[in-house]
Amino acid sequence: MEPCVDAWCEPLPLLTSRLSLMAVSRSDAAVLAALGNDFEIAKYTARLPYPLTEQAVANWLGSHGPTKTALKICRRSDGGILGVVGISQIAEGRGELGYWVGRQHWGQGIATEAAQAILDFGFEHRGFEWVEAACRVTNPASRRVIEKCGFQPCGNGLMHSVAVGGTVPIERYGLDRKTWGSLKRWARA
């Protein structure tokens, strides 16, 4: 099963000024495994294993159902894969944002640009009223991405990290449709 099925994929690709967000396919497994096989990336995620193998990527692709959109982040100029961004339905009207970007692409605003695009997709095409995001307390770069997208703090918690092999502290954030809509209007003003 592909990670993006039926109407959950429409309209794709999602385009930004620099990026094209497209459905991930099994043919991307080798590139994604090479890009994401970095403990400095995996330690900040819940489900990314380390080491990251092609088989692990294939398993991840097979685990996606019809309420999860996982997209590869590609450079529009040459199609190079930079990372992954996703949004999943966790309950009726509620989504969860996730992303990772290859270390060589950190600090370029790629995660923020991709996250904003998939949030637009979630609110406009999936009908979400609320989207959640979380980051490890030791990950200020991800915190900045989340804040730039308009998320507001919702408290702290714990998550299991596959790569770390244990529970790690996280900061939780939320973004509602009304706030997202206001931010979109302010950006156009």
Q: What is the pLDDT of residues 104-159, one digit of tens each?
A: 999 999 999 999 999 999 999 999 999 999 999 999 999 999 999 999 999 999 99
Pairing type for strands 130-136 and 94-101 reads: parallel
15 lies in a domain? Answer: yes
pLDDT for residue 22:
96
Whether this prediction's pTM lies above 0.95 is answered by no
The total number of structural domains that make up the chain: 1
AA identity, residue 2: E
Burial class (CB in 10 A: 0-12, 13-18, 19+), 128: buried
pLDDT for residue 56:
95
Burial class (CB in 10 A: 0-12, 13-18, 19+), 157: exposed
**CB burial string 62-80: b at 16+ within 10 A, e below:** eebeeebbbbbbbeeeeee
N residues, the chain: 189
67 lies in a domain? Answer: yes
pLDDT for residue 76:
98
Q: What is the pLDDT of residues 13-65, one digit of tens each?
A: 999 999 999 999 999 999 999 999 999 999 999 999 999 999 999 998 888 77
CA atoms within 13 Å, Cβ hemisphere of 114: 31
pLDDT value at 2 more than 80: no
Cis status, amide bond into 51, omega within 30 of 0: yes
125 lies in a domain? Answer: yes
For residue 49, the SS3 value is coil
| Closest alpha carbon to 31 in 79, 86, 98 | 79
178 lies in a domain? Answer: yes
52 lies in a domain? Answer: yes
User: Could you tell me the residue range of the domain that residue 149 belongs to?
Assistant: 6-188
**CB burial string 107-123: b at 16+ within 10 A, e below:** eebbbbbbbbbbbebbb
81 lies in a domain? Answer: yes
Q: What is the pLDDT of residues 71-117, one digit of tens each?
A: 999 999 999 999 999 999 999 999 999 999 999 999 999 999 999 99
pLDDT value at 6 more than 50: no
Give the CATH number of the domain where residue 27 resides. Answer: 3.40.630.30
108 lies in a domain? Answer: yes
Residue 167: CB atoms within 10 Å? 11
1 lies in a domain? Answer: no
pLDDT value at 3 more than 70: no
Residue 56: CB atoms within 10 Å? 20
pLDDT for residue 42:
98
Cis status, amide bond into 13, omega within 30 of 0: yes
